[in-house]
A and B are shown apart, each in its own frame.
Chain A
Amino acid sequence: MASLEVIDNQGKKPMILEARDIKKYYGGFCALDGVSLQVEEGEFVSIIGPNGAGKTTLINVLTGFLKPDAGWVKFEGRDIAGKSPEELTQLGIARSFQLVHVFPNLTVLQTLQVAVLSRLRRGNKWLSSLDSDKEVLEEALHVAELFGLSPFLSSKSAALPQGAKKLLDVASAFALRPKIILLDEPTSGVSTADKNRIMRTMVEAARQMGIRTILQVEHDMDIVFSFSDRIIAVHQGKIIADGAPKDLERDEDVICTVVGKKECFQTFRAILEARRAKEQ
């Protein structure tokens, strides 16, 4: 079992998000039972676990969306439990949801413009033309380019193909240039062939935009093990593992719990090895 104590950092990478002894109940049902974790700046952390393990609840608590019944969540040392989405955005926390959220009647360009002007706190300008704001426009175009959305700039969001909608949803969150972004199943609803491409787009975009820390909930083990710096496995409201991919991939118990007993451990290892062989 990985150690859950506070890792003493040598002052190099600051701890950006920290949660301690989080408990959350829905009526009599315990969704989170004493969860503690921390995320360092610059890490790509994936949260994995079977359905109903409490992953989405955990993300909701970590993003201040839900107030925990016990324990605390701190972002850069500040308690963020129960803060409104706007306050969180101003603190530098952004998130995306499992279900794709777009502005149906706004074009891709307009959606990104909204995100950018929100970041630049220019929403109060009520008499100046948005389209002649070169700074907002340039940045929106830049983000679109990073996400491969340039061909769709003038399409209404409602008319986009599903994959593009997903990218737009994430792109608009990225456009806020948050310090940390939390993604709830960013590749859900995307075909297996596209998952890798989309993930690579997101990681590269994050790098280019200076978004240093990413926290995601993901089901696809392939994606998780290829991209993460660290993996946290959740089961029945508790953390059962927290470590680097290469440490976790040897832990048969954890993998079988997360992946489900049907897919046996051997198959999982075989897939990983096949991928590594392909990359060489």
Chain B
Amino acid sequence: MEMTATVLNILSSGIFHASILFLVAAGLQLVFGVQKIFNLACGSFYALGAYLGITMVDAFLARGGSPLLCLFPLLIAGLILGVLGPLVERGFLRFVYQRDESFQLLLTFALMLMFEDVIRFFWGTYPRSPKGVYLAFGTIHIGGAAIPVYNLLVIGASLVIASLMGFMLRKTRFGRIIRATASNPEMVQALGVRSSTVFVKVFTLGTVLGTVGGALVVPTTAAVSEMAVHLIVLAFAVVVIGGLGSMKGAFVGALLVGLLKSLSMAIYPELEMMLIYLIVIGVLVFRPQGLVGGQP
């Protein structure tokens, strides 16, 4: 019984982390597939989503809102931050599309530095946590394990988002344009679609996925200033496993990394981030070609 309980706990938290990671990774893959840029600042978006999420939730609760409805202020926080998408893409990224990869990396790195201070400016350096939201949702008892309901809600939410994304990519005109631009940008331009509009929209979508991911995770862990960099390294591992540019890959990679993360937290909690980094390094070393597609 002990064993099943532990396994279920690991599974539930693993899939929970996987859901969050998938949201962020999906955003990364979209942007990489279309604009061929790996957006380091996505970690910053994630962190901003987390911090703003806490602020919104605190405000919501202060106005007498029910903790059970906190999912809404969190989602709204994520969506509001979508305004950063056009800002960053039009203001910075569009100038480096044709440049060498190193410069693209440097630019997103610079953005990360800037956002680091933006977060410090608005929220200071101490960890923040929305008060008691997580516990308000309670737990469900399955197989002797106490599985937090919040986890299940988030898993559900990201499954919904995943299917919406899948639908969008396969059935809508915009989705077709995205897939076409990813494989043949010149052709798409020749057909009269302005690539700049596509780029802005895709980047904004990617941004929102990141900020929403950050907002949703925040009831379970505190928002700390290192979140951005911790996340971007993990997210990179996810997209590498899945293969750069592949949506399916983001799904598989997120599942794997999420489970690995919760496994390591269960076995060696003191090592925490160290173990995560070791895993990421391991992934990058042993499987750079990805499991689903893509090339190193």
A and B: direct contact (Cβ < 8 Å)?
Answer: no
